[in-house]
Copies of this chain bind each other. A is one copy, B any other.
Amino acid sequence: MLKLTKKADYGLIALRHLASVPGATASTKDIADAYHLPVTLLAKVLQQLSRAGIVQSVSGTNGGYKLIRHPAAVSALEVVRAIDGPVILTHCFTEHGTCDQSDNCTVREPLRKVHEAILDVLNRFTISDLAESPVIRLTPLPVPVNPVASARTARPAVAAALTTPSGSGVRSGRALLLESDVHQEF
């Protein structure tokens, strides 16, 4: 249903924690206690991050995990992939052999663009974005006249992607994209 797993959540929380104390190591228990996460599950997550080369483990007393890359060099995409495996938007992308309508499937290729856009969003978002100061409510978008105008406004990466105006032409019944239109609830 297009959501991250709890494990991925936990992984991001843990990484953000590790990023907040650069260089230091924190044990699974430390982190789990700090955020009330199930210890054993978090352990699994950290193991996966370790295998993925994002954190390094230190055994023994006073051991734990430490971030071995710059927070800005670890994307959410990488984290999610390390923990949950490949991100697939639609079944079309995997079941190539088995899917019997693969030949006349009309949505696979168009959806690929959506897929790539989502991957890109995740790829741009890094642990350092996570570690930044509490987020201020996004200011309401100025209704842009043309694509370039709004792209010019300096903004952090993801926000920029978010606000790039559609300019998609047609869109008959529907006016320009309004924020309220996007997240009525979730």
Contact = CB atoms under 8 A, between A and B. Distances in A.
A88 interface: yes
Interface stretch (A21-29, A41-49, A59-67, A156-164): A156-164
Interface in A66-120: 69-70, 72-73, 75-77, 80, 84-94, 100-101, 104-107, 109-120
A9 B107 contact: yes
A96 to B, nearest CB: 12
Nearest to A86: B186
Interface residues of A, number: 95
Contact of A9 (B20, B92, B161): B92
A124 B70 CA distance: 33
Contacts of A113: 125, 129, 135, 138, 156, 158-159, 162
Interface in A147-186: 147-148, 151-152, 156-164, 166-174, 177, 181-183, 185-186
A35 to B, nearest CB: 5
Nearest to A167: B157
Contact of A151 (B91, B101, B124, B147): B147
A130 interface: yes
A157 B152 contact: no
B186 A77 contact: no
A50 interface: no
Nearest to A75: B174
A90 to B, nearest CB: 5
A57 interface: no
Interface string A123-134: 111101111101
A29 to B, nearest CB: 15
A76 B16 CA distance: 32
